[in-house]
Amino acid sequence: MLDVLGEKCGIVGVYGNKDLEASRLVLAGLWALQHRGQESSGISASDGNIIRTHTGSGLVAHVYDEKTLDSLPGYIAIGHNRYSTSGGSTAKHNQPVTNSNNAIALGHNGNLPSVVKLQEFLASKKISIEDRNDSELMFDALQYYVSEGSSIEDAVKQAYPLFTGVFCLVVMTVDKLIAIRDEYGIRPLSVGKLQDGYMVASETCALSTVNAIEVRDVKPGEMIVIDESGLRSVQISESKNKLDIFEFVYFARPDSALLGKRVNEVRRNLGKELAKEFKIKADVVIPVPDSAIPAALGYAQASGVPFDHGFIKNRYIHRTFIRPVQKIRENDVHMKLNPLEEVLKGKSVVVIDDSIVRGTTSKKLVDLLRSAGAKEVHMLISSPPIKYPDFYGIDTPDQKDLIASHMSVEEIRDLIDADFLGFLSYEGMIKATGVSEDLFSTSCFTGVYPLDILERMKEIKKV
């Protein structure tokens, strides 16, 4: 997907023995989770006496060097890759969140669609809420309870009812690491075992990067506390597992596992289901790299249409790229993808993508394929039409900007100038996961929001 939906963040936490350089393991995890946020990155580390923090704008490669890591000693550390959360996208809001006391640090993946409850609570305690985003407001609530004498575990229990939304949190004090997940588990969070400690991360691919052995997912509504006594679990609220199915469709890395299923295999299955639903006579099937590659392979395998790479991706263009002059900017898709004429010329092409958001990129993709000589362009999407915005940690546009919310499939096909356009059915998507439908949040496709979005519901028009 190049008509990009942004995932809100990736988080990592490490607790080891006193000789461990935890910040270096966290850094490896952040490298693995770069796809979940490219706006900024940060690490907080504790040596048992003080928490030190470093954050910076840009990619992981831009934010850290040897000198930085040497300034973050300690056996406990948390890390955060950020896409912008509610409340602003300036460097002021980089994470982990800390304050002048350096007694607590917090990293957040997810989104609170409503922060009214938090704001009212903090205002009642005479704590400023000006220019504070959802993550910072959660930190402020925890900080308040700790300042009143609560342990960090009790502070989490007391503040938890104020967190009205989606959150996976890593929280650290000078001597403890805590991982918390909201009661619906809409965003993923997993626990791994290190040789002399533990690691938590948004995805299992970060665990395997440092050879941590995957133990299990953090349960929805669970708080995991890791300290010198080991790991213990506290179930704060009832588990109501509703993992966002879009993690399978697009966001998670293919080598991660969710709900016990390898993401790569699920995406292949999405392609196989597409092949059952759309039998197209074509010469070649190509993916929009990289996220649609497994689905295209699955489609090719099930349909018998040969697979090839029709686009070559420039992997070094990121959000931090300095935008060029207008004439080049208008052709930004061509900057990211270059079509291979020898694969496409004179061919009937099936092009697989994982989703369509606004439709503008899909049109540019079709134009690129035609300019490279494709005789026919059949576009297949390995998920149903996105008709509703997300309030749970995905940076979706307003509903009016989601093309499928106000145009039919045929109207979208006409707009993007494809010879054929097909979306995977909702039933086909669920079947491809091999997981029960009731374990998923499918709000982007159905408009059903399992976790109450409160006053934001007025923004939704049922289609």
324-366 pLDDT, tens per residue? 444 444 567 778 899 999 999 999 999 999 999 999 999 999 9
User: Cα–Cα distance between 334 and 197 in angstroms, integer?
Assistant: 46
Q: Residue 130 contacts by C-beta under 8 Å, 6 or more apart in sequence?
A: none
pTM for the whole structure = 0.92
What local confidence, expressed as pLDDT, does residue 396 receive?
Answer: 74
Averaged over 100-105, what is the pLDDT? Answer: 91
What local confidence, expressed as pLDDT, does residue 407 receive?
Answer: 97
33 has pLDDT over 90: yes
413 has pLDDT over 50: yes
What local confidence, expressed as pLDDT, does residue 452 receive?
Answer: 87
What local confidence, expressed as pLDDT, does residue 88 receive?
Answer: 46
What local confidence, expressed as pLDDT, does residue 93 receive?
Answer: 87
Strand arrangement, sheet containing 348-353: 284-287, 348-353, 376-381, 420-423
Active site (annotated) includes residue 205: no
Count the neighbouring beta carbons within 10 Å of the beta carbon of residue 215.
Answer: 16
What local confidence, expressed as pLDDT, does residue 324 receive?
Answer: 47
What local confidence, expressed as pLDDT, does residue 411 receive?
Answer: 98
Which member of 9, 168, 205, 444 is catalytic?
A: 9
φ/ψ of 207, rounded to 5, equals -65, -45
69 has pLDDT over 80: yes
317: pLDDT confidence band, cut at 50, 70 and 90? low
Q: What's the longest Cα–Cα distance across the chain?
A: 73
Averaged over 113-135, what is the pLDDT? Answer: 96
Contacts 24+ apart (CB under 8 A), 234-238: 234/153, 234/157, 236/156, 236/157, 236/160, 236/180, 237/160, 237/183, 238/183
What local confidence, expressed as pLDDT, does residue 336 receive?
Answer: 87
What local confidence, expressed as pLDDT, does residue 397 receive?
Answer: 73
Nearest to 245 by CA among 56, 404, 419, 386: 386
24 has pLDDT over 60: yes
5 has pLDDT over 70: no
- % of the chain with per-residue pLDDT over 70: 94
87 has pLDDT over 80: no
The mean pLDDT of the chain is: 92
319 has pLDDT over 60: no
